[in-house]
Amino acid sequence: MVDQEVEDILKQIRNSVRAEEERNARPVQTKNGHPTGSNSTAQPPAVQSVQNYPNLSTLNRAWDRLPPVMSNRRGALASAELWLKQILKRGSRWFTWEQVNFNNAVHHTFREVIESLTTFEQQLGETNNRLLELQQHQRRLEESFESELRQLSKTTSELARLLPALDRDRQLHALQTKLAALEVAWDRWEHQRQDESARVTESLLEIRSATERVLDEQRVCFKQMHLEVAEISAREERDRRALNQRIVKLEGAHESSKASGGSES
Amino acid sequence: MTSSPEESWYKRSGVEDLVEFYRTKFVSDEVLDSRYFKALDRFDMRFARTMWVFDNVRPGSTVLDLGCGAGMLALLKRKDVTLAGIDLSSECALASKRNGYDFTFSGDLTNLPFEDHSFDYVVSLDVFGHIEVSQKEHVISEIKRVLQPDGVTLHGIECTDRSLRPPLNEMTTEELHRFIAVDGHVGLEEEQEQAQRFQRFFKNVAFEPRYALCLTSEEFLKQADHYGLPFDTDFLDYLRGLSFEERRAFDIAMGYVFGRISELNIKLPKAGLYVFVKASDSELGPFYNEHRDRSSLLPASHAEQPVSLDRRNDVVFDDGWYEPNLLPPIARWMAQTAKIRFQAAALGSISFDLTTHIPDLQVKPVELEILVNGCSLSAISLYRYGWLNWKIQIPPELSSAGEFEIEVRSNRTWQPRPLGRAEDGRDDRELSIAVCNLEIIS
């Protein structure tokens, strides 16, 4: 009865393992019907451990001892039972060892499955923790975002309220800038005006001085011209007198020659 | 110096505007007016050529000066000649007019703007060396046309010595440029070649190579520096070191020797420098001093002389006065001390205008003192530029002296350009003040 149950369990595990192998061997259909790769990482760790032991055979011959034959009966019944069991034991030794080995393999497999499941559970826990952390972080971000949004909204409304004033400020600033530029231009113009004024004054002085020089020079030139004219007129007068004297002399000579010519004739 | 289309040598040497070239080279504010001529300058080598013409021109004749420049022959006015001038540059013509020429024209020498037989003399100094060889005979034919049939033509012509100097067509462009830039000579020929050209037009031609011995100090340096004539280096260095007064003494000595050579009619060998040519269709008189009469250059009697002393030929300006300059007006620069000697029946006052260009006048005014016959009469400090009229009363005890000597003293002088500049040249005269309009009031 017990053997039958063990055998059923083993058969169930084997079927389960084979079914799993077949499922892994086939392409996995996703929800949308598209196949995924055969080496999908979605397999649980226990299945992977079972796949590491495909024959489920235990060869540990160190344990090659069957438990002693026991009986809860007393007396002859017990002796008969023990004798029967001794006979059965020898006859079913191979089967028993198969079962023991099988059990051992199952035992180890389960232990590995447990380890894998434990690891998986730990990872799952870590993932959950990480997920929780992320959720918390997301919440914090959302809160922060909402806070920023509120602040922005507040600032926007404040800006909307300040905009007309700002516009006035801008105009004022522009006016101030223009005023500053005008002041700079004025300063520059004032400097230029002063420079020009100084230059004009300087030029005026130069012109005045040059005019004085020219007038001086003109005066001296006119004086020279006047003296030259006086000299020329004096020379002309002298020449005129000399010419008159020569004419008188020539006339005298002519008259005398005429007179002498007349007397000769 | 013509404006013919064949001015190839000028163009090849980079002279595009010939009129401008001559304007910048020969126009100056030099006063050559004969009224300002100092008698002693007749010995100055600078006037040697002028004196050759002066001594060969008949008083009262008509003279045409070809290429009159600034008016180097203005001295002929002392012989009462009618003096006309023509030059390529209108500014030269104007300068000659200013210096006392009766008429001046600007124009081409191959096309003279005068009637035939208009002049007793046609004269040129330093002109034929500027006329391209191909144009020379055109110019001589024009000379013959405007000259009286018995007229005489006199020329002082720059020459070359082909054994020493290559002709223009053998010069490189750079050599040509350098050579023509000195004086603008494009028509240099040897002495006899120049004379032969005149012989084709005139029956009688005489010529004498000159300047083999005597040159001005400036000309010695120019011939050595620019034309490569071989003078002794230490002699040239000596000339370079002479002051203005020393150069003047040198030039007067040279001019005196030049004049004596002419008087003694000494024949000089040709030197490839200069030739005097005298030509006429009528019989030629003596080559030198045909009409020598220098009395008009010497101090004359003061009878009926005008009251202004500047242009009186009986007034002696001593060597403390430099030759006049056109400032304007025409004024004489003075060294530290200068004297004027003249005669006058009576002298009540003296008046003259003066100015100075001396630097730092306001910091260091020029102290001036005037003495008449050795007696100090007035002193002033000149502290501003411009013209100043200075009038000095003559005390009664001096006024009837008859002969007067005015002495002007200055406490300092300056040299305008002691080292010389490329554009103006050297002026190392020791100048104090310039004086003009010297007037005596009885």
Rounded CA gap, A113 and A106, in Å? Answer: 10
Distance (Å) from the alpha carbon of B312 to chain A's nearest alpha carbon: 9
Distance (Å) from the alpha carbon of B441 to chain A's nearest alpha carbon: 13
pLDDT score, position B421: 66
pLDDT score, position B150: 93
**Tens digit of each residue's pLDDT (9 = 90 or more) over B347-381:** 889 999 999 999 999 899 999 999 999 999 999 99
pLDDT score, position B369: 96
Distance (Å) from the alpha carbon of A239 to chain B's nearest alpha carbon: 11
Rounded CA gap, A23 and A35, in Å? Answer: 12
Query: Across the interface, do A220 and B436 touch by the CB < 8 Å criterion?
Result: yes
Q: Where are the alpha helices (DSSP H) in chain A?
A: 2-25, 45-52, 75-91, 93-264
Which residues make beta-bridge pairs with B155?
Answer: B124, B277
Rounded CA gap, A17 and A31, in Å? Answer: 24
Confidence band, pLDDT 50/70/90 cuts, at residue A262 = low
Residue with tokens 């104007």: B94
pLDDT value at A177 more than 80: yes
Task: Choose the mutation target among B353, B385, B388 for the interface with A, i.e. most A CBs under 10 Å.
Answer: B353
pLDDT score, position B227: 85
pLDDT value at A96 more than 90: no
pLDDT value at A107 more than 60: yes
Enclosing H/E stretch for B360 = none
Rounded CA gap, B329 and B331, in Å? Answer: 6
Residues of chain A in Cβ contact (below 8 Å) with chain B: 212-213, 216-217, 219-221, 223-224, 227-228, 230-231, 234-235, 238
Query: Across the interface, do B307 and A223 touch by the CB < 8 Å criterion?
Result: no
Partners of A224 on chain B (C-beta within 8 Å) are: 310, 329-330, 436-437
- DSSP, collapsed to helix, strand or coil, labels residue B98 as helix
Enclosing H/E stretch for B278 = strand B274-280
Q: B286-308 burial string, b = 16+ CB within 10 Å, else e?
A: ebbbeeeeeebbeeeeeeebbbb
Rounded CA gap, B45 and B258, in Å? Answer: 7
pLDDT score, position B120: 96
- DSSP, collapsed to helix, strand or coil, labels residue B126 as coil
pLDDT score, position B226: 86
What share of chain A has pLDDT > 70, as a percent? 80
**Residues B279, B152 contacting (CB under 8 angstroms):** yes
**Tens digit of each residue's pLDDT (9 = 90 or more) over B169-207:** 788 888 888 888 888 888 889 999 999 999 999 999 999
ipTM score of complex: 0.73
Residue B22 or residue A156, greater confidence: A156
Which residues make beta-bridge pairs with A186?
Answer: none
CA angle B102, B106, B109 (to 5 degrees): 105
Q: Which residues of chain B have pLDDT under 70?
A: 1-7, 301-306, 421-424
Confidence band, pLDDT 50/70/90 cuts, at residue A150 = very high
Chain B, nearest residue to A211 by Cα: B386
pLDDT score, position A46: 44
